[in-house]
């Protein structure tokens, strides 16, 4: 019934130049009608993180923000001391050096972290593209052919053998002693035997499953973001990555260092201010 509804003969497969649903005299790309209805076996491109976003994320750290405030204060005090303070008559003005050095250190740290994250993001995208660059066996016009996973359409008859990782959702049509590992999709570690529903076995083959043993064929019923694996990947894109225990501990440590550093800076500022006021009061 499924093959009949999908307009495919399980013994022949799809036609290489199929143009279902096109009007007479109107040219269309092969499988265009199927892809318009069921979609392509590709996921939408993930939103790429820009270098500016990574730079802002790298700067969003309490320690760096505290150092920035300290550098501004130090720079302001140093410039004031050089221009109007006790060092206004000096030939070489060096009061601005300390504040500028702190600012430069903050910039270097931010750009270093952002560049490293940007390079890792690009490498991750390349690895994902390479992971999807593989072929599968399918029936087209009654012949066994190899096609890329991006070219699979709903209604294709896939030929499955041990070691294959299923790229789409499908329904088992026939074969011998097929067993699949669906732990990557369902979390169940037990191998599942596949077979016809009339024999009391599970006929549904989920995308992401690995064929452990046996051979067989299946008809594709869902591809791309509509497949089981595709839905999981789309949900992972929308969700936020949870922090590891080590990251949480490091965040707490950084926050404590920032608090203690800020407290020490405020205490030192108050001490110097009191010292300055006392000196001014005792001056003749």
Per-residue pLDDT tens over the stretch 160-177: 999 888 989 999 998 888
pLDDT band for 21, please (50, 70, 90 cuts): low
Distance of alpha carbon 192 from alpha carbon 78, whole angstroms = 73
pLDDT band for 2, please (50, 70, 90 cuts): confident
Round the average pLDDT of the chain to a whole number and report it.
Answer: 83
| Top mean-pLDDT range of 77-81, 91-95, 101-105, 130-134 | 101-105
pTM check: above 0.75 = no
H or E stretch at 155: none
pLDDT at position 42, please?
85
pLDDT at position 112, please?
94
% of the chain surpassing 90 pLDDT: 16
Long-range contacts of the stretch 109-117 (C-beta < 8 A, 24+): 109/58, 109/64, 110/55, 110/58, 110/59, 110/64, 111/55, 111/58, 113/54, 113/58, 114/51, 114/54, 114/55, 114/57, 114/58, 117/54, 117/57, 117/58
The answer to whether residues 175 and 47 touch, using CB atoms and an 8 Å cutoff, is: no
H or E stretch at 57: helix 51-59
pLDDT band for 240, please (50, 70, 90 cuts): low
pLDDT at 52 over 80: yes
* Buried b or exposed e, range 56-93, using 16+ CB within 10 angstroms: eebbebbebebbbebbeebbeebeebbeeeebeeeeee
pLDDT at position 116, please?
92
Distance of alpha carbon 236 from alpha carbon 226, whole angstroms = 14
pLDDT at 115 over 60: yes
The answer to whether residues 207 and 167 touch, using CB atoms and an 8 Å cutoff, is: yes
pLDDT band for 242, please (50, 70, 90 cuts): low
pLDDT band for 243, please (50, 70, 90 cuts): low
């Amino acid at each position: 019934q499924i093959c009949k509804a999908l307009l495919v003969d399980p013994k022949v497969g799809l036609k290489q130049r199929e143009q279902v649903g096109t009007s007479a005299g109107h040219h269309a790309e092969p499988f265009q009608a199927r892809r318009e209805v069921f979609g392509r076996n590709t996921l939408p491109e993930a939103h790429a993180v820009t270098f500016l976003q990574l730079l802002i994320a790298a700067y969003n750290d309490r320690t760096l923000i505290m150092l920035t405030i300290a550098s501004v204060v130090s720079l302001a005090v140093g410039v004031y001391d050089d221009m109007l303070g006790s060092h206004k008559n000096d030939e070489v003005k060096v009061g601005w050096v300390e504040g500028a050095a702190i600012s430069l250190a903050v910039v270097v740290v931010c750009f270093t972290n952002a560049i490293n994250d940007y390079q890792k993001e690009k490498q991750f995208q390349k690895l994902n593209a390479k992971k999807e660059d593989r072929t599968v066996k399918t029936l087209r016009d009654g012949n066994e052919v190899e096609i890329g996973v991006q070219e699979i359409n709903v209604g294709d008859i896939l030929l499955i053998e041990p070691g294959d990782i299923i790229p789409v959702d499908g329904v088992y049509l026939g074969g011998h002693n097929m067993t699949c590992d669906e732990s990557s999709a369902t979390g169940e570690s037990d191998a599942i035997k596949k077979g016809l529903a009339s024999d009391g076995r599970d006929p549904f083959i989920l995308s992401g499953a690995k064929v452990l043993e046996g051979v067989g064929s299946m008809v594709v019923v869902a591809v791309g973001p509509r497949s089981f694996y595709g839905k999981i990947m789309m949900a992972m894109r929308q969700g936020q990555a949870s922090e590891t225990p080590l990251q949480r501990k490091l965040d707490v440590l950084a926050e404590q260092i920032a608090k203690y550093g800020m407290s020490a800076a405020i205490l030192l500022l108050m001490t110097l201010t009191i010292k300055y006021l006392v000196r001014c009061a005792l001056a003749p």
